[in-house]
A and B are shown apart, each in its own frame.
Chain A
Amino acid sequence: KAGVTQTPRYLIKTRGQQVTLSCSPISGHRSVSWYQQTPGQGLQFLFEYFSETQRNKGNFPGRFSGRQFSNSRSEMNVSTLELGDSALYLCASRDPTENEQFFGPGTRLTVL
């Protein structure tokens, strides 16, 4: 089975811009979660989608949003970028009948 894929792998944006990141889960996995990873805060949960519905949401401002499509692919959007949004954004997929999450390679976002 192919693993979780994320595009793009690297992004450079400037403050105030917006960005959209994409994630394709493992085939058959209908749950997709997004995380932000920084050296200072570690891995922080953003949100989880299941069957096109947001099921859980972490403690992030409304500038962070996401969606899931009928084929389980997911996108997350960050509007009005701030310097502090520079991070590795990770997507993880899960078979709803299992507990393990499998991560993609991440998108490295740099905000200048």
Chain B
Amino acid sequence: EDQVTQSPEALRLQEGESSSLNCSYTVSGLRGLFWYRQDPGKGPEFLFTLYSAGEEKEKERLKATLTKKESFLHITAPKPEDSATYLCAVGGGSYIPTFGRGTSLIVHP
């Protein structure tokens, strides 16, 4: 059974204080590791897909990296508008993605 564990559950940062979110996973036959951002009361917004260990992708202040057991979402010099819940999911052989519980990020001005 595919499993995804995200840590920390919640993270408070000061504006400009860089940090990383962790996503540990077990999956049989990784078809992709996905990162989403979700604002309260809205649907998840797709951010990145990573397919193989060593792969990195960037978008504005976000950079996602992947190893064989975990993925990191690095947030550089965050701004208050980066406050959201960040969800990680893995797609395995069943094509049904398994989601983690998310990390709730609050960036204080």
Tell me the A residues contacting B by CB distance below 8 Å.
4, 6, 33, 42-43, 45, 48, 55-56, 58, 88, 90, 92, 99-106, 108
Contacts and interface: CB of A to CB of B under 8 A. Distances in A.
Judged by DSSP, the binding face of B is loop
B101 interface: yes
Given A42-B102, A48-B96, A90 B43 contact: yes
Contact of B49 (A45, A99, A105): A99
A104 B43 CA distance: 6
Contacts, number: 49
B99 interface: yes
B8 interface: no
A105 B34 contact: no
Contacts of B32: 99-100
Interface size class of B (residues with CB under 8 A): 20 to 34
A45 B90 CA distance: 13
Interface of B: 31-32, 34, 36, 41-46, 49, 87, 89, 91, 94-97, 99-102
Nearest to A55: B95
Nearest to A106: B43
Contacts of B49: 99-100
Given A45-B96, A56-B96, A99-B91, A105 B42 contact: yes
Judged by DSSP, the binding face of A is strand
B41 A42 contact: no
Nearest to A108: B41
10 contacts: A48-B95, A55-B95, A90-B43, A99-B31, A100-B49, A101-B46, A102-B46, A103-B43, A103-B44, A105-B42
A108 B34 CA distance: 24
Interface centre among A55, A88, A99, A104, by most chain B C-beta atoms within 10 angstroms, is A99
A6 B41 CA distance: 13
